[in-house]
Amino acid sequence: MPAGRHFLQIPGPSNVPDRILRAMDYPTMDHRGPAFAEVGRAALEGAKWVFGTENRVIIYPSSGTGAWEAALVNTLSPGDTVLMYETGHFATLWKKLAERLGLKPVFIEGDWRRGADPDAIAARLKEDEAHEIKAVCVVHNETSTGAVSPIAAIRRAIDAAGHPALFMVDTISGLASIDYRHDEWGVDVTVSGSQKGLMLPPGLSFNAVSEKAVAASKTAGLPKAYWAWDDMMGPNDTGYFPYTPATNLLYGLNEAIAMLREEGLENVFARHTRHGEAARAAVEAWGLEVLCARPEDRSGVLTAVMMPEGHSADRFRAIALENYDISFGNGLSKVADRVFRIGHLGDFNDLMLCGTLAGVEMALSDAGVPHRKGGVQAAMQVLGGGQSALRAAAE
């Protein structure tokens, strides 16, 4: 085994802080006993704060894929039409899941280099005079590309079209890393997971739900059992769950929420934005290209980097892992072997970013990838005065 700690710089699962590991390293309690109610209530209430909602957040022991399914089966009926936008690999997977459930997705094609276009969504909704479209589904932070969709603007576009469709958003990799406001942005169902900005291991997923979504669930016709919101709501009111919860992950969730409260969500968002800017400064200094083409769409969670023609991103990643014990995200489906993804999310600071970018620069040389030197220096210039500057700006 190599000396030192492995650098896990994929865009999730993110590194789990020692504080959260210690919180999870506690005996599992009786999930029907009186002490558990305090744990459950803290997790459910704390999740509402993270999502920016006064309404319910439902927590499942599952991956984000399960929360995708839960959002759809609780609100829709067989044969319903849903409008979805191709921002990348994960938007495409959500669409395929919808098809397997018997829904009819209308997929607005994208080029995988930008977020969803509110105008294109509005135009399609205006064509739907019969209101056959029952939901609009958008990925907030597309983990495969590093592009962010403007959720508030999409809500305005839906309203301007005068369309009654439910608005569903996947912020699996955006939550607790970049700005997100479930209630203020008028989202009906928000989908997320534990293993990204919440700094937990994989295993928890979430549906934040509006009153409109809960009303839709009363008449929805898709079959559901494990994912049923109504089965969750009664026990959740007293801090319990209808089936065995992931107790130790809930311990960790409560600790993660405590850490986010201590730093302050605005400071968390500013930190991620700053690290994204620094990472992209490095990419530009190397003479490489960021996959997300529109600067205003670029994510603070990750940076996807395009390889020069004729060079393999997977070979580069393998060399980085072998020589420096650092893991980068691979390119998925349409961009397989053409990009690598640098994760800069979760429990992450300036020195960790500089170490990560140094690993990239050294591995580019080892892999024979054409580039200029100086990427780390360019990032350092963006980082400037470090956390003291960030705190001063926040004040």
Q: How far apart are CA 132 and CA 26, in angstroms?
A: 50
Query: 84 φ, ψ to 5°?
Result: -130, 160
Q: How far apart are CA 103 and CA 95, in angstroms?
A: 9
The reply, when asked if residue 156 is annotated as ligand binding, is no
HSE, side-chain direction, 13 A CA sphere, residue 393: 15
Residues 6+ apart with CB under 8 A from 343: 8, 9, 10, 11, 12, 14, 301, 302, 328, 329
| Single-letter code of the amino acid located at 206 | F
Peptide bond into 13 cis (omega under 30): yes
Residues 6+ apart with CB under 8 A from 5: none
Joined together, the tokens standing for residue 284 give 């530009």
Yes or no: say if 162 and 171 are a contact pair by the CB < 8 Å rule: no
| Single-letter code of the amino acid located at 352 | M
326-330 and 289-290 as β-strands: parallel, antiparallel, unpaired? unpaired
Name the DSSP letter for residue 192: E
Q: How far apart are CA 363 and CA 144, in angstroms?
A: 21
Annotated binding site: 341
Annotated binding site for substrate: 341
